[in-house]
Structure 1
Amino acid sequence: MSSDFKHQLSEQFARVGKALSNPNRLELLEYLAQGERSVEALAQVSGLSVANASQHLQQLRRAGLVTTRKEGLYVYYQAAGDEVVELLEALRRVGERNLAEVEQLIRSNLATKDRMDPLAAEELLERAQEGDVTVLDVRPAEEYEDGHLPGAANVPLQELGERLEGLPKDQEVVAYCRGPYCVLAYEAVARLREQGYQARRLEYGFPEWKAEGHPVEEGPEGDSDSEGEV
């Protein structure tokens, strides 16, 4: 009886592993970690067809990794809690430590973009409280509005060039985006440094920041619903 129960339990846990075994589904989860999205919006940002995105999302739903709600003709998905973000983070750590291919990809694609150590969350919290750092959220506006670091300015990467004049050069600028491998922050830091700014990136992205219980705000710039102060 005990052995049969354990096997059945393992079968259920394996459903989660199976749902995570597709790179498209992992990317969809990363987008959903930013906030709730419709199937159509997820298809657009991921480059998948609506039908294909819907199929992947259904598998994630059956594995308990996402939840849904319907509004009119549209179905909206969201990650099923911060535990999903923590699961993705654990998967990332295991891959980094045990797969040579992961290390090689990171070294050849990201390390060449930024050889400086990223800023740890605790250090950013301390420096933001002292007012000696400017924080940039370089994600699209809809992701920023779903949640962002308190006091962060939303400057999507494609708008960075035209908004440089509004950034102070007398303090360090810290950029963040969707996660530790999100190239938006890497590109933002590179462009800022080319223009003479002191710039670094946060060690990870907004989903990890929120999952660790750090303060967040919601809403557009100037109209934030704060859940705490940095």
Structure 2
Amino acid sequence: MQETMIDYKQNIYQELSRLTKGLGSEKRLDILNILSQGPKTVEGIAHATDLSVANTSRHLQVLKESHLVVTSRNGNFIRYSLASEKVVQLVLLLFAVGEEQLAEVRAIESDYDEAAGVPQIELANAIELAAQTDVLLLDLRPVEEYEAGHLPKALNLPIDEFDQKKAQLPKEKTIIVYCRGRQCGYANLAAQDLQSLGYSIYSLNRSFADWKWGASSRSELD
């Protein structure tokens, strides 16, 4: 009986360890964060992570074998997405635990914020302020991520178009800038740029996914 129980436990833990293989790479964590924003092609993931298509494909294969991502076909393109809502929550929880348990993570974030020299804002405060007419919530993510879901009342200005279009932003409004969350540095950089141009700004280092999965008490998302 004891041997049967031991075999049972070992078999379960062996299978569960496949998940940790998928999580055990900084590059794959980056990919998981990207996919928490919405589905993407291999080429789109490669562009977002600054990896080659070949390296991206190898990492995606590991994630697929770990059952953390799934594929779907859209015409001639294969799109990757996180395997389930629970996987999205797992990714966000991993980042949250990292911030809470690892002083090194908190130090890296603090140093990055300090170097940017821009005011930071918490997610709940940003949502509350965005309801005011004199506040603009600016989403820096690509169009397809914005269309997959965004913070209420957010305006989309993809980071690839930011330099060309930033001067068109209204100076009479306070601008709250966000991108893909704490693991993405674009919000601080864009906020720093706008601040140098005389805009009143905040940097929001949280994402739509952070808001959505922190909104379990709401029955409907805007």
> In terms of mean alpha carbon deviation, does 97-106 or 131-140 score higher?
97-106
Query: CA 1:87–1:170 in structure 2 vs 1: closer, same or farther (change >3 Å)?
Result: same
**In the TM superposition, what is the alpha-carbon distance from 1:165 to its structure 2 partner?**
4.5
Match of 1:181 in 2: 183
Match of 2:30 in 1: 27
Query: CA 1:40–1:203 in structure 2 vs 1: closer, same or farther (change >3 Å)?
Result: closer
**In the TM superposition, what is the alpha-carbon distance from 1:123 to its structure 2 partner?**
2.4
Match of 1:143 in 2: 145
Q: Is the 8 A contact 1:139 1:184 kept in 2?
A: no
**Is 1:94 equivalent to 2:97 in the alignment?**
yes
**In the TM superposition, what is the alpha-carbon distance from 1:203 to its structure 2 partner?**
4.1
Q: Is the 8 A contact 1:28 1:42 kept in 2?
A: yes
Q: Give secondary structure in 2 for the equivalent of 1:48.
A: coil
Q: 153, 156, 165: which is aligned to 1:163?
A: 165
Shift >4 Å, 4+ stretches: none
| TM-score w.r.t. length of structure 2 | 0.84
Q: 43, 49, 70: which is aligned to 1:67?
A: 70
Q: Is the 8 A contact 2:19 2:67 kept in 1?
A: yes
Question: Percent identity over the alignment?
Answer: 37
Query: CA 1:196–1:33 in structure 2 vs 1: closer, same or farther (change >3 Å)?
Result: same
**In the TM superposition, what is the alpha-carbon distance from 1:93 to its structure 2 partner?**
2.8
Match of 1:190 in 2: 192
**In the TM superposition, what is the alpha-carbon distance from 1:153 to its structure 2 partner?**
1.1
Q: Is the 8 A contact 2:118 2:191 kept in 1?
A: no
Letter in 1 for 2:50: G
> In terms of mean alpha carbon deviation, does 173-182 or 163-172 score higher?
163-172
What 5-or-longer segments of structure 2 have no aligned partner?
Answer: none
Q: Give secondary structure in 2 for the equivalent of 1:200.
A: strand
Cα deviation 1:116-140 (Å, max 9, x = unaligned): 34232x3233333343421100122
Q: Is the 8 A contact 2:43 2:53 kept in 1?
A: yes
**In the TM superposition, what is the alpha-carbon distance from 1:64 to its structure 2 partner?**
1.7
Q: Is the 8 A contact 2:118 2:203 kept in 1?
A: no
What 5-or-longer segments of structure 1 have no aligned partner?
Answer: 215-226
Q: Is the 8 A contact 1:135 1:153 kept in 2?
A: yes
**Number of equivalenced pairs:** 216
**In the TM superposition, what is the alpha-carbon distance from 1:100 to its structure 2 partner?**
4.0
| TM-score w.r.t. length of structure 1 | 0.81
Q: 201, 204, 210: which is aligned to 1:202?
A: 204
Question: 2:87, 2:69 → 1: CA distance?
Answer: 8
Query: CA 1:49–1:169 in structure 2 vs 1: closer, same or farther (change >3 Å)?
Result: closer
Letter in 1 for 2:73: K
> In terms of mean alpha carbon deviation, does 89-98 or 192-201 score higher?
89-98
Query: CA 1:184–1:11 in structure 2 vs 1: closer, same or farther (change >3 Å)?
Result: same
Q: Is the 8 A contact 1:38 1:74 kept in 2?
A: yes
